[in-house]
Structure formats: structure tokens, C-alpha cells
Structure 1
Amino acid sequence: MNVYFCGMIGTGKTTLGQRLADDLSMPFYDLDQEMNKRLGYSFHRLVAEEGWLAFRELEYYICKFFSQRNNSIICLGGGTVRYDWNVDVLKESGRLILLEASIEELVHRVSQADRPRVNKGTTIEEDISLMWKQSKNKYYTAADYVFRTDEKNIEEEVDELKDLLQSNPLFQGLQVNHSG
């Protein structure tokens, strides 16, 4: 069984996922990094040159690859669970933890990043707000567990997630390092 972190851009999927995987000595995968590795260039370029459909097709292919992993911490893209075909393939091999934070916090976290907008002609705040309004039900429906990332520091969040994975029956079958 895998643990998949999903959520909006800026929720901390990669940061928390990498730290948690390191602490638990588990393999770590990140969808954006995997996509860039397979492309040989930034997925931002793929979106700019070929559009979001090409991105979503590659994303689905990578989700199928992830579903063949086992006992791994895997961070999905911000929009991955907005598409049922991705959720269907991922649910077969793990549990999805939705990371969430306030819109204001997400805007603060991503304001320095040069990310392609899903809704062209919008500001970062408008884009994030619109995506959340249109898709929050998809995120909640996909999630097996919801975890806030704007109330504690990273060390506290990692400790809480370790406890969750080690003690919650939802994650039974996941092999975690109980020593640390």
C-alpha cells in the first residue's frame, strides 16, 4: 500500500512527503519531479507548448506507474485528483491524504513560484480561489483522510503524520519504521 498526498498547489505535498519518507526510511516519489524526469525538461514547458491535455495524459501514465509501487510516499500534482481516472487507479494501491490550507496561505506560499495558471488571465489568488471553488468536492471525495498544513510547523506536522501512519487502522498494511 502507498500513501498519496494530494491537495491544492502550495499545501506542502512535496515538502511534507519528502520529510516523512526520509524519517520513515520509505521510498519517495513526486509527480512533478517524475514528469520533469520523463520529459527531460520542465512540465511548465509542456503546458506552454502542448497544453493541459498533454499534461493530463502524461499525468495519468505516471499515476499508473505509481500504482505499481508499494509502500511508498507519493506526492501528486495539485490537480491530479480532479480527474476521476487518476483517482480510480490510485485508490487501487493506496490511501489518499488531502493536505489543505487557507487560500491566503496557499497564495503566500506560491506567490514566488512561476507556475502556469489553470485559468488564464487570472492572478494567483483568483486562480487558486476559482480552482478550489470548482473542485473542492473532488478533493474531499478522493480523500481518505484530511490533514491541515497551516496550523503547525513542519516538524510538528511530520510527527503528527508519522503517528497517523503508524496508528490509524486506515493505514494498516503500510510498513513503517516504528523506531522513529
Structure 2
Amino acid sequence: MTKSENIYLVGLMGAGKTTIGRQLAKALAVPFYDSDKAIEERTGVDIPTIFEFEGEEGFRDREQKMLQELTKMQGIVLATGGGVILREENRNLLIKNGFIVYLQCSIERILERTRRDTQRPLLKTENPRERIETLFVQREPLYLACADYKIDTGIMQSKEVVEHILTAYRAINH
């Protein structure tokens, strides 16, 4: 990996990318970005609305454009959308421009964390567990392929996760 000031968080929905990202950015005194929030701010509508009107493909196009912008910045922490790694161009942008941390989390914990969340279009299904299992099987190899560091966010407090990430990040960048 090349030396970089950026930290990019990847992982399934509910793995803790936004929570961990905010804490990491605060610890490093750098700006925090959430690519989904940035898309919502740019479009003026929420992600479920984009999915409703443009489908997943339309959303992925917007996500890719936003990622192109965000990866040009230096000295940021970025929480990516769970499916950002589906496109090879996105994976390459992340790999080229930052330290990628895969926040791994058990399907049980993800279900627990997302069960009351109405803002997750991919979970609007009869069987959320089955959907999460499918997403995990589809995406885990991609997360692992581009991650510089992997940590299980389902077994420790976020503060501890942040400390582990900072240790790994500093070992590579200093």
C-alpha cells in the first residue's frame, strides 16, 4: 500500500462505518465524510428515494461519481456505502488513494443493529436475514481483496475498534 493520509471504511450495512468513522476522524482531527450522506446532500433526497426512482444501478452511478470526488481529497476519514466495492473502478479508487479498513461484523449483530432502520432499501424484503447473508457472500471476498486491515466490530466497543485501527494505520504511515 502506498502511504496515504486517508482512511476508507468498507463493510456491510450495520458494521459501524459511520460510528467508527466519526470517532476515527475526531481522534485524528481530520474531516469525516459519509458517502451516502454526501449523495443525499447533493441530490436533496434520501437513499431510499433514489433507489425507488432510479433503481440500484442509478444509485451505484451516483455513488461512483461521489467516490471519484471524495477520493481526490487528502486527510479525510470516509465511511463508504456497503456496496461501493461492487464496482472494480470504485475498488481501484479506494486502493489507490487510502488505507482501507474492512469492518467485519457477524450477520447476527448486523440484523440486531439494522432491524428498526427504515433507511436501508436493500433490507426492504420479507427475509432480511437471507438478504444480509446473500450480501455477505457476494461482498466479503471483495472487501477482503481491497482491505489493508480487517477488524471485527461485533465483538468489541467502538472505542477499542478505533484504537486498533489507529495502531495499524500509524504502523503503515509512520
TM-score, scaled relative to structure 2: 0.91
Aligned with residue 130 of structure 1, among 107, 129, 134: 134
**1:51 positional shift:** 0.5
Q: Spell out the pairing of 1:1-180 with structure 2 (5 A cutoff).
A: 1=4, 2-114=6-118, 115-117=120-122, 121-166=125-170, 168-169=171-172, 172=173
Unaligned segments of structure 2, at least 5 residues: none
**Contact 2:9/2:79 (8 A) holds in 1:** yes
Percent sequence identity is 28
**Contact 2:101/2:165 (8 A) holds in 1:** no
Structure 1: how far apart are the matches of 2:34 and 2:80? 6
Of 122-131 and 68-77, the range deviating more from structure 2: 122-131
Q: Secondary structure at the match of 1:161?
A: helix
Kindly provide the CA deviation profile for residues 5-37 of structure 1, in whole angstroms up to 9, marking residues without a partner as x.
000011000000001101210111111110100
TM-score, scaled relative to structure 1: 0.88
Aligned in 2, Cα 1:43/1:121: closer, same or farther, shift over 3 Å? closer
Structure 2: how far apart are the matches of 1:126 and 1:52? 18
Structure 2: how far apart are the matches of 1:152 and 1:131? 23
Q: Secondary structure at the match of 1:23?
A: helix
Structure 1 or 2: larger helix share?
A: 2
**1:165 positional shift:** 2.0
**1:122 positional shift:** 4.1
Amino acid of the residue matched to residue 46 of structure 2?
S
Q: Secondary structure at the match of 1:92?
A: helix
Structure 2: how far apart are the matches of 1:126 and 1:66? 32
Q: Secondary structure at the match of 1:130?
A: helix
Structure 2: how far apart are the matches of 1:56 and 1:124? 21
Partner of 1:177: none
Partner of 1:176: none
**1:162 positional shift:** 2.2
* Alignment length (residue pairs): 169
Structure 2: how far apart are the matches of 1:3 and 1:148? 17
Structure 1: how far apart are the matches of 2:93 and 2:84? 11
Structure 1: how far apart are the matches of 2:149 and 2:158? 18
Q: Secondary structure at the match of 1:71?
A: coil
**Contact 1:82/1:139 (8 A) holds in 2:** no
Q: Secondary structure at the match of 1:55?
A: helix
